A = this chain, B = another copy of it.
């Protein structure tokens, strides 16, 4: 549309701004306040916001309602996005109970698992279905996003089935890398891997201090 170029780094921060603006009760917000609360640079906040909202004015800050609206528009959460979860183990169940998805415009439609005996463990109204039903279900409901939350051994097979189902964007919550078609976008969010990264960061920053 507008040909604006949103950088990856900026994109990754937009949801944070969204959350913050929602939580705040004031009519007007300044970049300084956002920066302080989110632990970011003041200029960075302005630059990020400038790429989605032009309503900021000197001495007064951004109007919260306008900023909120613009953020939601850019993030595309005005109309909710349908998502499936693959894997009904503990992690999948945790995701089912999580209310954080709705706030960000996601609607969890269904959970798929090989083991349909887990039905009684699941307390929500979201249906649990067998893996083999996934392709037809996703295609029928026009679902293009999915969360991979199976055990390591099943990761690649499940990923293949997601590809067969027409999933175009996968959040991989496994710690395995999976091979997917080029048309599918993958973002890895593995807790153990993140923990390893955090440790390495802490480790190396300590070394620098001691240096």
Contact = CB atoms under 8 A, between A and B. Distances in A.
A5 to B, nearest CB: 9
Given A81-B199, A91-B94, A190 B12 contact: no
A3 B193 CA distance: 25
Contacts of A203: 75-76
Interface residues of A, number: 68
Interface in A87-109: 89-91, 93-95, 97-101, 103-106
A19 B168 CA distance: 26
Nearest to A97: B90
B177 A191 contact: no
A74 interface: yes
A11 B197 contact: yes
A114 interface: no
B81 A168 contact: no
A95 B89 CA distance: 11
A106 B198 contact: no
Contacts of A93: 90, 94
Given A11-B197, A11-B204, A187-B197, 5 more contacts: A16-B177, A18-B196, A20-B177, A90-B90, A104-B195
28 contacts: A1-B207, A1-B211, A8-B201, A11-B200, A11-B204, A37-B177, A75-B196, A75-B199, A75-B203, A76-B203, A83-B195, A90-B90, A90-B97, A98-B191, A100-B175, A100-B191, A100-B192, A101-B195, A104-B192, A104-B193, A106-B192, A106-B195, A106-B199, A145-B195, A145-B199, A147-B191, A169-B201, A171-B198
